[in-house]
Structure 1
């Protein structure tokens, strides 16, 4: 079976503060580093939303500048959410930028039903890895996007809101800078990225759902509700056999 081996390339795009280095691995383009939020206290916008969106087959995820929201790109359209008061707002504006993000442009997908015994975050990660390897994706060296669609039993998710009070950002204050939500038995579309190479870059170093698991987190997941009223970062999940996984169908881009 043909193996899709990643080639890492670099390009630049015009960001808010000048030229930004964009990395490429497999199907995935990415820039910025999640780890820099704590290590360097960097929460400025680096990746314009326009760089991630506006094209057919564009999908992406990112943290909004200033720790003030979440960015999800689905089929080229931005879903930008911000916590405001006791609730949140959502716009489709291309104004603003991501602190870090990952995005892709892909229109060819192969569908795989998610079995009923794949219910948890960790089980989903293992299922995605197994299915990707079965179609020839070298999951050890290649980052790749995937989609999920269907009815989720439960999704625990959040939207960033800056609660650091202008102080040095610690892991604790970063984790506190979120408003948390629970969605149950709703139809959703999920944008996801898998990588075993980019922990602390566009894959979270801290994933509560992977606590106690023998492997590190390799997923970054954002949801867009089917009614298009909610969007944000998924922290944990429960499925009940009503989801479909979509993996890239075409060979990895060169």
Structure 2
């Protein structure tokens, strides 16, 4: 092997090492990775729930590691392969997966989602929730009313938080029960393990939109009767303060002295 060839090999290895160092420094510095996502209003999203019904598969469109290091990150979505739920609260991930008759909680970013919606917010405005706001639809209407009063553009998607102790939350974690068959609406509904939390202090992350059904919102929620004429406009997840519970909320009965938090406009 000639000296020239050896020199080229050494230079190539040096370049690879330099590139690796640059990538590591960028990651450590929290430099955002470019994603093929869509920004609307105060939220960003990638993928769409409806895509799993056209493809028959729940393939990953984003890895959570691409979002690691972002401050004030709030996100939610389903894990690829219908294998759990993703909830990120103030940049900390809460990943739940059904295993046997129980479920596990993981707090790493090492997971992929077949759709994901998120926001980066550090400043929030607290709004006390009146006692008259009891159920899922009450909450949906209250969120819209208060957001409009706070100056948010409610024709575009926006995030919200809810804190306190609900009387009851019916929630679920996705678990693959397709039997290897292409995903249909029926199999998707079947692929959920239900849970109930009662009088448990929680933090709730939500996204409101009237125009993203089938993308990061389900057209119908179990709490809304299909013949009611009402459209689902919220996607909400819980994170328990006292247990490992974290996942998608299907229905909720609010408790006393709960607090709605809306993004503060600059």
1:69 is matched with which residue? 84
- The residue number in structure 2 matching 1:167 is 181
Aligned equivalents of 2:152, 2:108: Cα separation in 1: 34
Name which of structure 1's ranges 235-244 and 148-157 shifts more when overlaid on structure 2. 235-244
Tell me the alpha carbon deviations over residues 58-111 of structure 1, each in whole angstroms, 9 at most, x when there is no partner: 100010010000000001011000000000000112112111010011000000
Q: Partner residue of 1:144?
A: 158
Q: 1:192 to 1:53 in 2, by over 3 A?
A: farther
Q: CA separation in 2, counterparts of 1:77 and 1:37?
A: 27
Match for residue 185 of structure 1? 199
More helix by share: 2
Aligned length: 234
CA shift, 1:51, in A, is 3.0
2:46 and 2:68 mapped to 1: Cα distance? 14
Which of the residues 207, 224, 229 maps onto 1:210? 224
1:60/1:74 contact within 8 Å kept: yes
Give the whole-Å Cα distance in 2 for the aligned partners of 1:196 and 1:51: 28
Residue 38 of structure 1 corresponds to which residue in structure 2?
53
The structure where strand makes up a greater share of residues is: 1
Secondary structure of the residue aligned to 1:241 is: coil
Deviation at 1:139, TM superposition (A): 1.0
Task: State the distance in 2 between where 1:236 and 1:62 align.
Answer: 17
8 Å contact from structure 2 (residues 42, 119) kept in 1:
yes
Task: Decide whether the 8 Å contact of 1:121 with 1:209 is kept in 2.
Answer: yes
Aligned to 2:3: none
| TM-score, length of structure 2 as denominator length | 0.84
Aligned alpha-carbon RMSD (Å): 1.5
Query: Quick one: distance in 2 between partners of 1:160 and 1:24?
Result: 26
Unaligned runs of 5+ in 1: 1-11, 15-19
Rg larger for: 2
Distance in 2 (CA, whole Å) between partners of 1:137 and 1:248 is 8
State the SS of the aligned residue for 1:200: coil
The question of whether the paired residues in 1 share the 8 Å contact of 2:129 and 2:258 is answered with: yes
Unaligned runs of 5+ in 2: 1-31
